[in-house]
Amino acid sequence: MMTEKPTFYITTPIYYPSDKLHIGHAYTTVAADAMTRYKRQRGFDAYFLTGTDEHGLKIQQRAAEAGQEPLAFVDGIVDGIQKLWQLLDIDYSDFIRTTEKRHEQVVQRLFKQIYDQGDIYKSEYSGWYCTPCETFFTEHQLAEGHVCPDCGRPVQMAQEESYFFKMSKYADRWLEFIEANPDFIQPESRRNEMINFVKQGLEDLCVSRTTFDWGIKVPFDEKHVVYVWFDALVNYISALGVGSEDESKYQKYWPADVHLMAKDIIRFHAIIWPIILMAAGLPLPKKVVAHGWLLMQDGKMSKSKGNVVDPVVLAEKYGVDAIRFFLLREMAYGMDANYSEEALVNCINIDLANDYGNLLSRTTAMIEKFLGGVVAPGSEGTDFDAELLELAAQTPEAMAKYMDKVDVANAIGEVWKLVAKANKYIDDTAPWTLNKNGEVEKLKTVMYNLAEVLRQVTILISPVMPNVAAKVWQQLGLSAEAAGQDWTALGWGGFPAGTKICRGEALFPRIDWEAAQAAAAAENETTEPEAETAEALVEPVKPEISIEDFERIDLRVCQVIACEKV
Ligand code: MSP
């Protein structure tokens, strides 16, 4: 009898069409993709939705500036976004555009249903609006300087006839729901923030606009277009065909297991979206998980600040797997992470080249040199085997504990403990000494154990780095089938005895950051415009300090004799 696979439905936010999606945007999509691949490895029927959020004043204005119709304007950009996801190996199940009919119909149906039952009513809106964030604010919500509290940009007065959604009516029900489902909002700090927000009093939400027309028409009052956030949030069910002729995907995957997003839009997902669903009488998602921001030295990466880092450039320079690994390894659960190219290079050099890549090259080099390239366990073991095997046996569960919380950074950390242990195992067992002493059976066991750890680590890490497995299997002399690709292949001893390895190039070549910097500087120098004066190239000199201040400085010279990664 065929048993149905358990399902897993994960979503990212749908992106505003922008030709400058940056590495910060890419974090959410890469994390959701890694989660999907992980769940598939574990036997789930995993469904991953992403897409684009194409309506609203901001798009209408940008299209007008470009002298194009909004839809024609976004078409090309959306194409670019899909290409970016392809480049980053994002294997989504569906890509929804809010300009698609299948989406518009659901938004209109839901809006009318909620209106008919009396939870949407017509009134007059008067307040502030941030167009880049597409968000309404009351006077007291504005930040100092009378600017948007989220992005710090100027807000505009909006005064118009609007429909309102009775959010206030659902505040108590929302609080009860959160109480009964303590894991609904993750991490916990965000949960507390959301509870406080609702307890301060939930106001009805303005859900239509009349001062522009690029949006989904309110079905019973065509002068209005649906507020872009009401429109956008519905994508999570419209993509599944809710209420359509074929509801099979909706029946199968809804409620979503995880809505994943950055912290700045948690309020929309943790409060507004569940209340829309409550009003519509539909089940609520199981979890809303907010990650932190990828920050630059001067704050959040954003197009308006001009500090965005292009993922296409990075992928070309360092490879897609390395970029994906860096993003997922660096962003600790729920926290912000700092981006710098140097940090990326360090991560490649330390975690990938030194730890993982080196484990593969040391292992294959020794198998080739000492054992004629053949992997097979020996009849004798060493004192260090038990500890290595024990950690290998524990690692999948340790990793799963974190992955199931969408804490990918710590999940990778668990796998890397095993990588570190295997590297230490080489030092402890000293295969070169076993070889010198003619202890062939022990040597064979050590080499087999190392090859087997590499097989396990590679299976575990392939949701994060989808291209790495093929390269490792080639060097280990395995076909993908023989190596195994999912968790059923993780049992110890799965490495086929008698395999002939095939040593290859470094998995992640080390990058000489200083040399790369010097080369880049030299290149800049040759292309520097001649008119540039020497003064312009010198950093501004700090003001002199007095001799008294100088005397207070405790200057010491020291030599670093050892250091370790923290
Ligand atoms: N269109 C809305 C989402 C609607 S979902 C129903 C939107 N789009 S966005 O393009 O501005 O942002 C998409 C996602 O990227 C959001 O989760 C946003 O917070 C995230 N990020 C944007 N900049 C980021 C960083 N610098 N770091 C991490 N994530 C960032 O919001």
294 in contact with ligand 1, CB cutoff 6 A: yes
Least confident piece of the model among 106-110, 152-156, 175-179: 152-156
Q: Specify which residues 165 forms β-bridges with.
A: 120, 205
Whether pLDDT at 403 is above 50: yes
In ligand 1, which atom is closest to the CA atom of 13? Answer: 5
Any residues with CB less than 8 A from the CB of 560 and at least 6 apart, and which?
A: none
Name all contacts of 113-121 with Cβ < 8 Å and 24+ positions apart: 113/280, 114/165, 114/276, 114/279, 114/280, 115/163, 115/220, 117/279, 118/166, 119/165, 119/166, 119/169, 119/279, 120/163, 120/164, 120/165, 120/166, 120/207, 121/163, 121/164, 121/166
Cα of 320 to ligand 1 centre, how many Å?
21
Residues 6 or more apart from 383 whose CB is under 8 A from it?
A: none
Output the CA 171–ligand 1 centroid distance in Å. Answer: 26
Distance from the alpha carbon of residue 50 to the mean position of ligand 1, in angstroms:
12
Q: Which two tokens stand for residue 153?
A: 């940009």
263 CB within 6 A, ligand 1: no
pLDDT of residue 509: 95
> Span 196-221, mean pLDDT?
95
Q: Sorting pLDDT into bands at 50, 70 and 90, what band is 565?
A: low
pLDDT, residue 533, reads 39
Task: List, for residues 238-272, the tens digit of each pLDDT value.
Answer: 999 999 999 999 999 999 999 999 999 999 999 99
CA gap 110, 232 in Å, rounded: 13
Label residue 562 by pLDDT band (50, 70, 90).
confident
Ligand 1 mutation target, pool 10, 23, 25, 85, most atoms within 8 A of CB? 25
Starting from the edge strand earliest in sequence, which strands make up the sheet with 294-296, in order?
299-300, 294-296, 337-338
User: CA 553 to CA 458: how far, in whole Å?
Assistant: 51
Task: Give the CA distances from residue 286 to residues 181, 201, 407, in Å, rounded to whole numbers and listed in that order.
Answer: 9, 24, 16
pLDDT in tens, 222-237: 999 999 999 999 999 9
- Closest residue to atom 25 of ligand 1, CA basis: 24
Closest CA to 508 of 365, 349, 343, 314: 349
Nearest to 501 by CA among 422, 448, 459, 427: 448
> Cβ(70) to ligand 1 under 6 A?
no
Which is the closest atom of ligand 1 to the Cα of 292?
28
- Output the CA–CA distances (angstroms, integers) from residue 465 to 222, 329, 412, 461, 469, in the order listed: 48, 11, 11, 6, 8
Instruction: Give the distance (Å) from ligand 1 centre to CA of residue 375.
Output: 48
118: left (phi over 0), alpha (psi -120 to 50) or beta: left
Report pLDDT digits (tens) over 45-82: 999 999 999 999 989 999 999 999 999 999 999 999 99
d(CA 35, CA 10): 8
DSSP letter at 356? Answer: I
Find out whether the beta carbon of 238 lies less than 6 Å from any atom of ligand 1: no
Q: Whose CA is nearest to atom 12 of ligand 1?
A: 15
112-117 long-range contacts, Cβ below 8 Å, gap at least 24?
112/219, 112/220, 113/280, 114/165, 114/276, 114/279, 114/280, 115/163, 115/220, 117/279
The finding on whether 13 has its CB within 6 A of some atom of ligand 1 is yes
Residue with tokens 């119709």: 69
Does residue 334's CB lie within 6 angstroms of at least one atom of ligand 1?
A: no
Nearest Cα residue to atom 7 of ligand 1? 15
Q: Is 46 in the pocket of ligand 1 (CB under 6 A)?
A: no
CA-nearest residue for atom 10, ligand 1, is 15
State the pLDDT at residue 529. 47
**Burial zone of 205 (CB within 10 Å; 0-12 exposed, 13-18 middle, 19+ buried):** buried
Distance CA(174)–CA(138), nearest Å, equals: 22
Q: 18-44: per-residue pLDDT in tens?
A: 888 899 999 999 999 999 999 999 999
CA-232 nearest atom, ligand 1 = 6
Scanning 42-87, the segments in alpha helix (DSSP H) are 57-65, 70-87
* pLDDT score recorded for residue 536: 38
For residue 541, pLDDT beyond 80:
no
Output the CA 262–ligand 1 centroid distance in Å: 6
The string of pLDDT tens digits covering residues 336-367 is 999 999 999 999 999 999 999 999 999 999 99
d(CA 503, CA 509): 15
Distance of CA 228 from the midpoint of ligand 1 (Å): 14
> Can you tell me the mean pLDDT for 278-304?
89
Q: Tell me the pLDDT band of 534, cut-offs 50, 70 and 90.
A: very low
State the pLDDT confidence band at 543, using cuts at 50, 70 and 90. low
Cβ atoms 22, 301 nearer than 8 A:
yes
Does a cis peptide bond (omega within 30 degrees of 0) precede residue 396? no
Q: Name the β-bridge partners of 156.
A: 129
- Ligand 1 center to residue 13 CA distance, Å? 7
3-state SS, residue 7: strand
Q: How far is the CA of 95 from the centre of ligand 1 (A)?
A: 16
Mean pLDDT check: name the lowest of 294-298, 405-409, 464-468.
Answer: 294-298
Read off the amino acid at residue 310: D
Q: How many other C-beta atoms can be found within 10 angstroms of the C-beta atom of residue 143?
A: 13
What's the whole-number mean pLDDT along residues 298-320? 83
Atom of ligand 1 nearest to the CA of 294: 27
Per-residue DSSP letter, 203: P
SS3 77: helix
* Whole-angstrom distance, CA of residue 199 vs CA of residue 205: 16
In the chain, the percentage of residues whose pLDDT exceeds 90 is 80
User: Which residue, chain included where needed, has tokens 């009003």?
Assistant: 279
Q: Please, where are the H alpha helices in 348-479?
A: 358-371, 385-403, 408-429, 431-436, 440-461, 468-476
Task: Give 101-144 pLDDT, tens digit per residue.
Answer: 999 999 999 999 999 999 999 999 888 989 888 888 888 889 98
Q: What is the DSSP secondary-structure string of 101-170?
A: HHHHHHHHHHHHHHHHTTSEEEEEEEEEEETTTTEEE-GGGSBTTTB-TTT--B-EEEEEEEEEE--GGG
Q: Is 203 in the pocket of ligand 1 (CB under 6 A)?
A: no
Averaged pLDDT score across all residues of the chain? 92
Query: Would you say 448 and 487 are in contact if contact means Cβ atoms under 8 Å apart?
Result: no
Q: Is the CB of 262 under 6 A from ligand 1?
A: yes
- Closest residue to atom 19 of ligand 1, CA basis: 262
* CA–CA dist 232, 15 (Å, integer): 10
